Amino acid sequence: MHPDVGKLLHLQERDQRITDLRDEIASLPVQIAAIEKTLDGHLKKLDADKAILAANQRDRKKLDLDVQSHQQKISKLKDQMLGAKTNEQYRAFQKEIEYCETGIRKSEDRTLELMEEAELLTANVKAAELSLAEEKKVVEGRKKEAGARSAADQAELARANAERAALVASLPAGLVSIYVRLHKRMSGGQVVAIVSEDTCGACHMTIRPQHMADLRLSPEVLTCENCRRILYVEPQPVDVPQQMSE
């Protein structure tokens, strides 16, 4: 393998790692934002349940006041009934009392319904509060982990960039130019490909016999005639026992 091709392979690996690190660094805030959005949704749901529970309590209080008002009115009507002078007056007072009693029953029935609703709402609110307390701990933990991961990624990214700069400086400018141009347009950023069984490891096209001979013997860095990627051939393994027997 040409020494410069070995450096290009290392450069390609560094570039891939740099891309991965940048993607991860960019994705961490997005992940945290998604977690916080979910948490915010749960908080809003809890606030809505609390608002419904508060409205329930206000409605029950109003119904209690309505019952008290009807009871007071009934008491006054009964006192007034004692002074009724005609049957018509008596029946009118009685009808008014029945109306108030009906109002009391309706208020009490509705109060029971609201109490049942309040029991369920209270249980839901308590469960949601406990769940949110745990969820907040998880979110804070994830944020700390993301912060630590981001800091580690930033440090590794700085090292990878420094290594890349050193590799670029050690390579011929023309070769670096070719590499950069190919890296921008090649899928997955693969610029350097191995030749396996006379086939380009990237585009999988068969390489001509003469080009294969050039790849093995030429001191120049050569490319695939089909996809234009830089090619290299692994050296053939040496059969030491066979050589010794010869």
The answer for residues whose C-beta is within 8 angstroms of residue 161's C-beta and 6 or more apart is 18
Q: Give the start-to-end residue ranges of the domains of the chain.
A: 16-161, 174-234
Structure tokens at 132: 């949110």
Say what the pLDDT of residue 219 is. Answer: 85
Per the rule left: phi > 0, alpha: psi between -120 and 50, beta: everything else, 193 is beta
Rounded to 5 degrees, φ, ψ at 91 are -65, -35
Tokens of 139: 């979110």
pLDDT at res. 243? 46
193 bridge partner residues: 231
Q: What is the predicted pLDDT for the residue at 237? A: 52
Sign of the four-CA dihedral 4, 6, 9, 13: negative
Whether the model clears a pTM of 0.75, i.e. scores above it, the answer is no
Question: If you search the block for the tokens 């590794």, which residue do you land on?
Answer: 156
CATH 1.10.287 is right for the domain spanning 16-161: yes
CB under 8 Å to 195, separation ≥6 — which residues?
Answer: 201, 207, 212, 215, 231, 232, 233
Along the 246 residues of the chain, how does pLDDT read in single tens digits? 788 999 999 999 999 999 999 999 999 999 999 999 999 999 999 999 999 999 999 999 999 999 999 999 999 999 999 888 899 999 999 999 999 999 999 999 999 999 999 999 999 999 999 999 999 999 999 999 999 999 999 999 999 999 999 999 999 999 999 999 999 888 778 899 999 999 999 999 999 999 999 988 888 899 999 999 999 998 655 444 544 455
